[in-house]
Amino acid sequence: MNSLLLAVLLLFSAVFLNSSFMSQSQVSNLNDPHIIVRKKVRKLELFEGDKLIKKYKMVLGFSPSGDKAVEGDGRTPEGDFYVFTKNGKSSYYLSLGLSYPNVQDAKRGLSERLITREEYDQIIDAVSRKQMPPQKTRLGGEIYIHGGGTDEDWTDGCVAVKNEDIKEIFDAAKVGMRVTILP
């Protein structure tokens, strides 16, 4: 019985380690990486195509419930975004700039008269070209995935991970990479 139990444990360990953990060099060589952030469970998941590569603990803005609505609300936005920049000189070690506000945010902002038609057009144009959308509207901006720690929800709306984790994520990331933030 002991040898059977040991064999099962060894098999489980091999499968778990091979499917859940990749070395940093393997993570940095992904061809089609993308990220899914799951706010409710505080997990950032790194994918290669459809395959989950690694999960990371993360934290959110100081007011984590709900979708970002306006500048200063402390909420982390929800929706589909892309990485518009990789910042190797971030105040929070390393960071990936996310394309907030996106088209849906711009539509809401225009209908609620939070932004002007000109700001709306600038957001739509930037998103269509996968560039940085305007960052200083009443909708807010400057949303990043960055280091700095995971002790509690502390950011102004960004996603924060441990410094060693952002290093791995940063190395795997590509400008234009998809990032989905779920409730």
CATH for 2-100+140-182? 2.40.440.10
Q: What CA–CA distance (Å, rounded) separates 69 from 140?
A: 8
Amino acid 1: pLDDT: 54
Question: Averaged over 170-177, what is the pLDDT?
Answer: 97
Q: What CA–CA distance (Å, rounded) separates 97 from 183?
A: 19
Mean pLDDT value across the chain: 90
Please name the amino acid found at residue 84: F
Does residue 15 surpass a pLDDT of 50?
no
Yes or no: say if 132 and 142 are a contact pair by the CB < 8 Å rule: no
Yes or no: say if 39 and 64 are a contact pair by the CB < 8 Å rule: yes
pLDDT digits (tens, 9 = 90+) for 113-168: 999 999 999 999 999 999 999 999 999 999 999 999 999 999 999 999 999 999 99
R_g of the chain computed on alpha carbons: 18
Q: What CA–CA distance (Å, rounded) separates 164 from 68?
A: 27
Provide φ and ψ at 54, rounded to 5°.
-160, 150
pLDDT digits (tens, 9 = 90+) for 30-72: 999 999 999 999 999 999 999 999 999 999 999 999 999 999 9
Q: Whole-prediction pTM value?
A: 0.85
Where along the chain do its domains lie? 2-100+140-182
Amino acid 2: pLDDT: 60
Amino acid 27: pLDDT: 74
Please name the amino acid found at residue 6: L
